[in-house]
Structure 1
Amino acid sequence: MAFSVLPQLSSRISGNFRTKLILNLISVYILWGSTYLFIHFMTENMPPLYMAGCRLLTAGLILYPYARLTGHSRPTRQQWYSAGLIGVLLLSVANGGMTMAIQYVPTGVAALLAGMLPLFIMVLNWLSFSKVKPTKLALAGLIVGMIGIGLLVKPGGFQATSTESWLGIVIIMFCNLSWATGTLLSGHMKLPTQIISSAVQMLVGGGVLLVVSLLVEPVSLFSISHAPDKAIGALIYLIIFGSLIGFSSFAWLARNAPPQLLSTYAYVNPVVAMLLGWAFAGEALTGQSLLSALIIVAGVLLISLGKKKQKAAV
């Protein structure tokens, strides 16, 4: 009798896991795709590093007590250090840098360039971490992706490729490098449980951003009281949906989903961001920008397929 229940129980567990997997994927696809637009709204009239620091630190101050109250153990000093370092790379540098870059480039362009993250992970892993040469398919994806970027940033690719927009492009490339480093490094460090790790990353990452903001931006700790309603609304959205839900979904997927499936957010986020930027921020969608978007997404897809073949061969 007991044995007859096991297949049903296994099927139920499998079904629950599949549902959780789909919900977390939708969360990362849609919510993270929308964050570019809301970062634009949040920083239209407020300093970017200050608002990014407020967003992440507030999310961490909510998530950490919740995690402790729901039974997750306190991280050790080593785990604080490890998660904090990842938080600086992913959130202080990459997220904070992206918040700055959106001051100089349209949100859809920022999302497209951020979508090249798998390229950075592949090259960095090849040169510094695994020392494993990518497959020919992945290298083809690298070339295709670079062609797409070149088409995007050349004149006519988006509204204007000015000196300021080039600054935004360079910042995003550096953000990709920092995020790729943090992603690869996290697999070699002793981290606490998923939710505690996310909370510590937000606390440290947001805290560092706030300190830097107080040093370089014309703000005080209480400048948030002067923020317009639109900025406050966008900040609340980003805290709840971008950080607490979106980042936690990404962290869950990073630990439970196949890497090839997780990497698909890099194809979807730019499409969501470009459509939202066009619909709500008046950003232009030129034929050249749409073509470059398709080429970049194709490049990222080839890289992911190349990784899959490499793992199958191993």
Structure 2
Amino acid sequence: MSNSSNPLLVILAFFSIYFIWGSTYLLNKIAVTELPPFMLASTRFITAGLLIFLICKILKISLAITRRQLLNTIIAGFLFLAFGNGIVVWALKYVDSGFAALEISAQPLVVLIMMRAFQGKKILPMSMVGVFLGVIGIYLLVSQNQVTNQENSWLGIGMIFLCLLSWSYGSLFIGKANLPTNHFVNTGYQMFTGGIILLLGSLAFGESWSWPTTWSDPTRYSMLLLILFGSIVAFTAFNYLLKVVSPEKVATSTYVNPIIALFLGWYFLNEQITMQSVVAAAVLLTGVYFINTKKKLVMFSRFSPRFGKKLNQ
């Protein structure tokens, strides 16, 4: 697969990161109630990576990569999977799945700030409005009594924010890094290496491992869906999009992920959706819209077209 974009592939890839990833919060929440978090994530990613390698062998896709590409896949595997996902799974022990998805919806805001800090990209006025709304939305989200009164909730909130930073920096890193040209191979190496890092973390923390035969049916089904769809399908789509569209566009998955996660958490796990969470979601997602919109600031361009044009250059 080349780095040129195919419109149909782009649409299918966006569907994957929008809807499939929105459901992974529920699946991880179900599994982490029974399994240790790092063991859960490690099993998911190592299995997915090995399956991808097997598929590549069957399809006669070369797995050969350079040392630089291997190093970069290890870095990406750590940023996205070992830390960026593994810690989120751990934090789900202390916060609701819908809440976690809402907090992570601030990713476009963080990506924008990082692009300004590390790449010198200019922040447009509309994006500044989005940053302001994003900050307000995050405050509304984390200041709820229903959240802050839960045991270790602040620890979970803080760790998810660190994961948010890791994912955001990883999005910028992978867009420029020398990685395997085949997106499926790229995903396989990231999955496998990220899973190995999580395995080492699990052993370091002394987690208890168990065989799938001892798991409950909901946990087994959740793990199967996480491996096949959440890992292999959606993460391959994610890597593909980061090479063919801009990082801030890829981050727009946070428009849809929280809505899917909130609904599924409410429907299957009876997670509470407070009015403040609804308001926070509306403010956050409006901020994400402003960050990604290419429209001009109407309040300026209406009175002075030249001034409005200058602001949005």
* Same-fold call, TM cutoff 0.5: yes
Which of residues 199, 207, 223 in structure 1 aligns to 2:196?
Answer: 207
Secondary structure of the structure 1 residue equivalent to 2:293: helix
When residues 259 and 85 of structure 1 are mapped into structure 2, their CA distance, relative to the original with a 3 A threshold, is closer
Q: State the 1:78 CA deviation.
A: 1.5
Residue 113 of structure 1: aligned partner: 103
Secondary structure of the structure 2 residue equivalent to 1:192: coil
1:202-241 alignment to 2 at 5 Å?
202-220=191-209, 222-241=210-229
When residues 307 and 190 of structure 1 are mapped into structure 2, their CA distance, relative to the original with a 3 A threshold, is farther
1:116-195 alignment to 2 at 5 Å?
116-127=106-117, 129-156=118-145, 158=146, 160-193=148-181, 194-195=183-184
Secondary structure of the structure 2 residue equivalent to 1:108: helix
TM-score by length of 2: 0.87
The answer to whether structure 1 residue 27 and structure 2 residue 16 are counterparts is yes
Residue 88 of structure 1: aligned partner: 78
- Which letter maps to 1:72? I
Structure-1 separation of matches of 2:148 and 2:72: 41
Unmatched segments (≥5 aa) in structure 1: 1-15
TM-score by length of 1: 0.87
Work out whether residues 184 and 236 of structure 2, in 8 Å CA contact, stay in contact via their aligned partners in 1.
Answer: yes
Q: State the 1:223 CA deviation.
A: 4.7
- Which letter maps to 1:200? Y
When residues 182 and 82 of structure 1 are mapped into structure 2, their CA distance, relative to the original with a 3 A threshold, is same
Structure-2 separation of matches of 1:306 and 1:257: 15
- Which letter maps to 1:141? G
Residue 279 of structure 1: aligned partner: 267
When residues 168 and 306 of structure 1 are mapped into structure 2, their CA distance, relative to the original with a 3 A threshold, is farther
Residue 243 of structure 1: aligned partner: 231
1:111-134 per-residue CA deviation (whole Å, 9 max, x = no partner) reads 01111111111112222x212341
- Which letter maps to 2:21? W
Question: What CA RMSD, in Å, does the superposition of the two structures yield over aligned residues?
Answer: 2.4
Q: State the 1:262 CA deviation.
A: 2.7
Extract structure 1 runs of 4+ deviating beyond 4 A: 222-225, 258-261, 306-310
Structure-2 separation of matches of 1:146 and 1:261: 20
1:112-161 per-residue CA deviation (whole Å, 9 max, x = no partner) reads 1111111111112222x2123412221221111111111111134x4554
1:258-291 per-residue CA deviation (whole Å, 9 max, x = no partner) reads 5554332111000000010010010111111101
Structure-1 separation of matches of 2:101 and 2:56: 31
The answer to whether structure 1 residue 254 and structure 2 residue 262 are counterparts is no
When residues 80 and 109 of structure 1 are mapped into structure 2, their CA distance, relative to the original with a 3 A threshold, is same
Once the two structures are aligned, what percentage of the paired residues are identical? Answer: 34
Structure-1 separation of matches of 2:83 and 2:169: 11
Structure-2 separation of matches of 1:23 and 1:186: 20
Structure-2 separation of matches of 1:78 and 1:122: 27
Which of residues 42, 46, 54 in structure 1 aligns to 2:43?
Answer: 54
Structure-2 separation of matches of 1:31 and 1:203: 20
Work out whether residues 44 and 226 of structure 2, in 8 Å CA contact, stay in contact via their aligned partners in 1.
Answer: yes
- Which letter maps to 1:291? V
